[in-house]
Amino acid sequence: MRTALISGAGIAGLSLAYWLTGHGFRVTVVERAPALRSGGQAIDIRGTAREVVTRMGLMDRIRAAHTGTHGIAMINGKGEQVARMGGDAFGDSGGIVAELEILRGDLIRILHEALVPGSVEFLFGDTVTALAENATGVTATFGESGTRDFDIVVGADGIRSGVRDLLFEADVRDLGYYSSYFPARMDIDFGGWELMYNEPGRAAIVYPVGDSGEVRTLFAFAGPEIPDARRDPKRVLAEVFDGAGWEVPGLLEQMWRTDDLFFDRASEVRVPRWSRGRVVLLGDSAFGGSLGMGTSMALVGAYVLAGELSSSGHEQAFARYQDEMGEYVALNRKRPPGSGGFVPRTRTAIWLRNQFLRALPHLPGRKRMLGGIGKSANAITLKTYTRSVSPA
């Protein structure tokens, strides 16, 4: 039985673990966090990725966990809608906001539950610190678990991938802003819409979790890098959003009380070759930084990578994986017009963004203007790979 080490228990890593165990691999997953990460923002599943989760038998569970929102509304300081974009504005997977949206933590839970009990070994609270390839495999050195040998190693550990940093040359491009996510509660009527409030250089996005009053809050702000910002993110956010309007002060108060806070600098990853020897990259570690397609590319990439490994040795499988995914990834990394309006830096830019969104549904050639989101999301045809082990 071939063995695989996957670094990262996120969407890419858990999806790959599901498919590899189904193809007869013995899988170990190492994760820096002490347990599966339950928090995070709402994420989209688009195009071909929907076919992947259907083949996993998970579509019904994912639909049942839908956030219930049907688009995003831009609001002013009084909470009044000034522009909005529905998930079905341009048909299936054709809008800026996807019709199928789920909280990241819910998708993580569903993927984990889909694994055959006992089929995957998890090493939580640990990291890969060194990799050494030999004639028959890869020796991985862990921070806490000594050394182990594997046939292949997969870096599915995100934009700041430790596996990638050990072996690969990567171009990690700064996108000019920070983003953060945390849970909160709000007693307002969302009407089924995510709400985005902008002031120059800073944005607050809030999306409801059903009708419970629970929400997920995204704070983002543009500007140069702040030294040591990740060491004290709450202080940074409090200083940047001091004096902001709408419901931001109350959200900041709740931010201080939560331990579930994600904070990072937005980046885009470019890696010319996704594999080196017996080590391969998947998801954000290889092609992170897309606008709304990261989850979908991770799901599709896991399916393709595992499928190619099911019938070929690592060298041929890794090459086919990149060949199969290359155009799909390239198309989905393109940013459509208006995507720069996430954190406009001036009031004029905010106004122009809102006018663009208000007019967009009525403009001729609107799908082309959006960069062909629907077409790109479906720009790969899935092969059929035979599983050797039945799913749970």
Answer yes or no: is 75 within a domain.
Answer: no
Q: Round to whole Å and give the CA distance between 168 and 271.
A: 8
Mean pLDDT of 251-262: 95
Answer yes or no: is 277 within a domain.
Answer: yes
**3-class DSSP assignment, residue 253:** helix
Predicted pLDDT at 92: 43
Q: Are 278 and 152 in contact (CB under 8 A)?
A: yes
> Quick one: pLDDT band at residue 341, thresholds 50, 70, 90?
low
Domain total in the chain:
1
**3-class DSSP assignment, residue 78:** coil
Encoded tokens for 146:
């000594």
Answer yes or no: is 225 within a domain.
Answer: no
Q: Round to whole Å and give the CA distance between 345 and 343.
A: 6
Answer yes or no: is 92 within a domain.
Answer: no
> What is the phi-psi region of residue 161: left when phi exceeds 0, alpha when psi lies from -120 to 50, beta otherwise?
beta
**Residues contacting residue 225 through CB under 8 Å, at least 6 positions apart:** 174, 265
CA dihedral 28, 32, 34, 37 (to 10 degrees): -90
**3-class DSSP assignment, residue 276:** strand
Answer yes or no: is 289 within a domain.
Answer: yes
> Which residues on neighbouring strands pair with residue 222, listed in sequence order?
177
90 pLDDT more than 80: no
Question: Which of 233, 229, 305, 371 minimizes the C-alpha distance to 18?
Answer: 305
Q: Round to whole Å and give the CA distance between 389 and 116.
A: 9
**Residues contacting residue 325 through CB under 8 Å, at least 6 positions apart:** 297, 300, 301, 304, 380
Answer yes or no: is 348 within a domain.
Answer: no
Q: Are 18 and 115 in contact (CB under 8 A)?
A: yes
Q: Round to whole Å and give the CA distance between 194 and 72.
A: 5
pLDDT tens digits for range 118-171: 999 999 999 999 999 998 999 999 999 999 999 999 999 999 999 999 999 999
Q: Round to whole Å and give the CA distance between 117 and 265.
A: 36
Predicted pLDDT at 67: 77
CA 32, 33, 35, 38 torsion: positive or negative? Answer: negative
Helices and strands in the chain: count of H runs, count of E runs: 13, 18
Mean pLDDT of 343-352: 93
pLDDT tens digits for range 169-199: 999 999 999 999 999 999 988 888 899 999 9
**Residues contacting residue 35 through CB under 8 Å, at least 6 positions apart:** 124
What percent of the chain lies above the pLDDT cut of 90? 71
3-state secondary structure 82-116: EEEEECCECECCCCCCCCCEEEHHHHHHHHHHHCC
**Residues contacting residue 363 through CB under 8 Å, at least 6 positions apart:** 369
87 pLDDT more than 80: no
Encoded tokens for 145:
């678990």
pLDDT tens digits for range 258-284: 999 999 999 999 999 999 999 999 999
Predicted pLDDT at 373: 67
Answer yes or no: is 185 within a domain.
Answer: no
292 pLDDT more than 70: yes
Q: Are 160 and 269 in contact (CB under 8 A)?
A: no
Q: Round to whole Å and give the CA distance between 296 and 322.
A: 16
Answer yes or no: is 374 within a domain.
Answer: no
Q: Round to whole Å and give the CA distance between 169 and 273.
A: 9
**3-class DSSP assignment, residue 300:** helix
Domain CATH code at residue 297:
3.50.50.60
Helices 11-22 and 294-311: crossing angle, nearest 10°?
Answer: 20
Predicted pLDDT at 44: 86
3-state secondary structure 24-66: CCEEEEEECCCCCCCCCCEEECCCHHHHHHHHCCCHHHHHHCE
Expressed as residue numbers, the domain containing 8 is 3-67+104-172+267-337
> Quick one: pLDDT band at residue 218, thresholds 50, 70, 90?
very high
Predicted pLDDT at 391: 57
